[in-house]
Amino acid sequence: MAEQNQNPLTPFRNQPAPEAKNYPGLDEWRELSADQQPNWADHPDFGTVVSELESVPPLVFAGEVDQMRQRLADVAEGKAFFLTGGDCAETFLDATADKISARVRTLLQMAVVLTYGASMPVVKMGRMAGQFSKPRSSDSETRGDVTLPSFRGEMVNGFDFTEESRRHDPNRMLRGYHTSASTLNLIRAFTTGGFADLRLVHEWNKGFVSNPANARYESLAREIDRAIRFMDACGADFEAIKGTEFYAGHEALLLDYERALTRIDSRTHLPYGTSGHFLWVGERTRNLEDAHVNFLSKVHNPVGVKLGPTTDVDDVLRLIDTLDPERRPGRLTFITRMGASKIRESLPPIVEGVRDSGAKVVWVTDPMHGNTISVPSGYKTRRFNDVVDEVRGFFEVHEALGTVPGGIHVEMTGDDVAECLGGSDAVDETAFADHYETLCDPRLNHMQSLEVAFLVAEYLSKR
């Protein structure tokens, strides 16, 4: 007699999973309008690239994705906090051990500050291993009398201002996949192979240029050290602090890439996006009737939607019905990016509407994207004080409404760049000439990232 499978999580264990290629509904988006997509469908290599991506191993596994959704369910209940950080636009050349390690160490430091301040677990996610495509305000860029297609992230075209570099090339998706694979490999090694052991809390601070924020971190690390030595003397088991869970997420902008990396889970026979654990749709592509929302409605990952200052509360309620019709805990995150000057007016009606509908979502603040300015020298930047003010506004609004401020999402790097103005080391415009490295939007540097973490920790500790 055939073995009966009694485990409700693996009802199809003895049956082959259907192919993602013909899975019902997964290709509906192709009939819908899709903004911000590359023009590469006629490229001679397009078909072979897509076939190759359809057959490569998944970058993440459905079981990990489910685990992350459970962690986010705790965030929605106020039992954990969600920290996301990473580059605005990752680059192939910067996927080096040193750069990845600096970013992961900075995120681990921020997480320690938050965990200590809030006395609650922190769900950690890198905007990493897939953040290679960018929506742009304009399709083209003009320099002098030359106009070329805008840079759209290295998975689409190159940053150099030449016709050849700016051409959309589907082969870049393969490089994006392999760079994501090696980045994830290193992240997994760092976070489970001993490097993230909480007993190394001082080590993560080493190698960064000394600054007021890492001095403050050092004194917190000493307190943690003392607590660990005390627990050690009491005979505690340190298994749980030897490594940490760390997830990867990115904007699911390039539908050709996301669709090709969709796989059917052998346990449940349900589709999962396997390019990252968490996928989000951006402010420019979150139209309910369009392709991106349709695609995300079909995969079983935890998903996010960015919400800007012009967001309509009815649209938000319809997004909930479309993306989370079963109201699965941890499935849906709203990442609000209102701008410091608008958050106190624009956010309350949205949060109130969702609260009153009875839906439970994760609320995250992105204090970066509503606060971008250009300075006369031409650089795009953000004022650190605006970033901080948006974070404050986010906590104030949730406190007033009795809802849960669940997380923070920042563009940051572990490097000592000068891209955002201010902070206690007072970055000013004169530093941009030598230390401005981002290919798209400005990021918090190591010190500014830690300062934001200390600020959030103060709010969390008051809750």
Ligand X SMILES: O=C[C@H](O)[C@H](O)COP(=O)(O)O
How far is residue 114's CA from residue 190's CA, in Å, rounded to a whole number? 20
Distance CA 99, CA 123 (A): 22
Binding map of ligand PEP across residues 265-284, x = CB under 6 A, - = no contact: -----------------xxx
Query: How far apart are alpha carbons 306 and 354 in whole angstroms?
Result: 15
- Give the residue closest to ligand X by C-beta: 137
Q: Are 112 and 232 in contact (CB under 8 A)?
A: no
> Is 462 annotated among the ligand-binding residues?
no
List, as one string, the DSSP characters of 401-413. Answer: HT----EEEEEB-
88 near ligand X (CB under 6 A) = yes
Among 69, 369, 443, 446, the residue binding ligand PEP under the rule CB under 6 A is 369
State how far the Cα of 92 lies from the Cα of 74, in Å rounded to an integer.
Answer: 34
Binding mask 9-38 for ligand X (x = CB under 6 A): ------------------------------
CB of 261 to ligand X, least distance (A): 21
440 is in an annotated binding site: no
Q: Which does 283 bind (CB under 5 to 8 A by kind): ligand X, ligand PEP, none?
A: ligand PEP
205 or 438: CB nearest ligand PEP: 438
Name which of 107 and 220 has its Cβ closer to ligand PEP: 107
CB distance 336 to 344 below 8 Å? no
Q: Is 54 annotated as a binding residue?
A: no
Number of Cβ atoms within 10 Å of the Cβ of 225: 14
Query: Phi first, then psi: what are they for 171, rounded to 5°?
Result: -60, -25
Among 105, 124, 134, 382, binds ligand X (CB under 6 A): 134
Contacts 24+ apart (CB under 8 A), 172-178: 172/132, 173/49, 173/53, 173/254, 173/256, 173/257, 173/260, 174/49, 174/52, 174/53, 175/92, 176/92, 176/130, 176/132, 176/133, 176/257, 177/53, 177/56, 177/59, 177/257, 177/261, 177/275
Is 98 labelled a binding residue? no
User: Is residue 167 part of the contact set for ligand X (CB under 6 A)?
Assistant: no
443 lines the binding site for ligand PEP (CB under 6 A): no
Per-residue x/- track, 219-258, ligand PEP (CB under 6 A): --------------------------------x-------
* x-or-dash string of contact with ligand PEP, 127-146, rule CB under 6 A: --------x-----------
User: Which amino acid would we find at residue 309?
Assistant: P
- Could you tell me which of 217, 183, 201 has the C-alpha nearest to residue 99? 183
CB-wise, 263 or 292, nearer to ligand PEP? Answer: 292
The response to whether 337 counts as a known ligand-binding position is: yes
Closest separation in Å from C-beta 169 to ligand PEP: 21
In the range 436-455, which residues lie near ligand X by CB under 6 A?
440-441
Judged by CB under 6 A, which of 126, 130, 135, 406 binds ligand X? 135
**Residue 411 marked as a ligand binder:** yes
By 3-state DSSP, what share of the chain in percent is helix, strand and coil, each rounded to 5? 40, 15, 45
Q: What are phi and psi of 421, to 5 degrees?
A: -85, 135
**Residue 300 annotated as binding site:** no
> What is the Cα 382 distance to its own chain's centre?
19
Please, are residues 283 and 369 in contact by the beta-carbon 8 Å criterion?
A: yes
Pick from 6, 7, 22, 137 the residue near ligand X by CB under 6 A: 137
The least CB distance from residue 370 to ligand PEP, in Å, is: 8
Find, among 409, 400, 402, 457, the residue nearest to 307 by Cα.
409
Question: Which H or E run includes 123?
Answer: strand 122-126
Lay out the site mask for ligand PEP across 334-353 (x = CB under 6 A, - = otherwise). ---x----------------
Is 284 annotated in some ligand binding site?
yes
User: Of these partners, ligand X, ligand PEP, none, which one is at the site of residue 341 (CB under 5 to 8 Å by kind)?
Assistant: none
- Residue number of the CB atom closest to ligand PEP: 282
Q: Which does 251 bind (CB under 5 to 8 A by kind): ligand PEP, ligand X, none?
A: ligand PEP
> Which positions ≥6 away from 48 have C-beta within 8 Å?
none
Instruction: Quote the CA–CA distance of 462 and 118 in Å, as a whole number.
Output: 8
Q: How far is the CB of 442 from ligand X (least distance, A)?
A: 10
Q: For ligand X, give the closer residue by CB, 196 or 291.
A: 291
Q: Note the residue count of the chain.
A: 463
Report, in Å, the least distance between residue 409 CB and ligand X: 12
Binding site for ligand PEP (CB under 6 A): 88, 135, 251, 282-284, 306, 337, 369
Binding site for ligand X (CB under 6 A): 88, 134-137, 369, 372, 440-441
